[in-house]
Amino acid sequence: MNRTTGDPAAYRQQLERLVLRIAGLVERLSSILEEERSALAQQDADRLHEITTGKMTCVQRIEEAEAERRRLCESLGFGADESGMVDFARWCSAGTRLEAAWKEVMHRAKRSETMNRTNAAIGHARLRQVSDALAVLNGVDAGQGLYDPQGAESAGFERRALARI
């Protein structure tokens, strides 16, 4: 089917439900990212593990909804990118309410992406601090990694008592 043979009103409700679903998921992701930031600040490893599981589930649901949105756009001859979605929203919605809702979803998604990058940077910095502290405790150069890419101890690390000088 393409947009020339389709009835815009028949797709409006379907698209509205989909946009609302994606908006809710993106909002949930934003909340999860705020929780993650708090857990990072508090260095709460157990909470971070729980949050990571929830974040992965939320991202998977967003990806599923996005795949559904792309299929719907493409089935009617619209591009699956942001501009194609705006064209689709304009085509099937009188006025700009649906278009505005989609633009807000995209704004929140971009904000969530920035939050996720910030949280990742904080996590990497904290990991570096812990690795450096462990290196000092083990009496090795702080720049040398404690573990190789497979998770085994890197060569050159000795097992010795911390108090031995």
In a domain, 31, yes or no: yes
Write out pLDDT tens, residues 77-115.
999 998 999 899 989 886 678 889 999 999 999 999 999
Cα separation of 131 and 140, whole Å? 11
Give how many domains the chain has, as a whole number. 1
Mean pLDDT of 133-146: 66
State how far the Cα of 97 lies from the Cα of 90, in Å rounded to an integer: 9
Q: Is the pLDDT of residue 130 over 80?
A: no
Q: Model's pTM, two decimal places?
A: 0.76
Selection from 37, 24, 34, 31 nearest residue 65 by Cα: 24
CATH number at residue 27: 1.20.58.300
Q: Is residue 137 part of a domain?
A: no
Q: For residue 155, is pLDDT > 70?
A: no
Domain, as residue range, for 12: 8-122
* Structural domain contains residue 3: no
153 or 118, greater pLDDT: 118
Answer yes or no: are the C-beta atoms of 109 and 26 closer than 8 Å. yes
Q: Is 29 domain-assigned?
A: yes
Higher pLDDT, 11 or 21: 21
Spatial separation of the C-alpha atoms in residues 104 and 82, rounded to whole Å: 12
Rounded Cα gap, residues 108 and 116, in angstroms: 12
pLDDT digits (tens, 9 = 90+) for 14-43: 999 999 999 999 999 999 999 999 999 998
Calpha distance 161→8 (Å, rounded): 73
Q: Is residue 155 part of a domain?
A: no
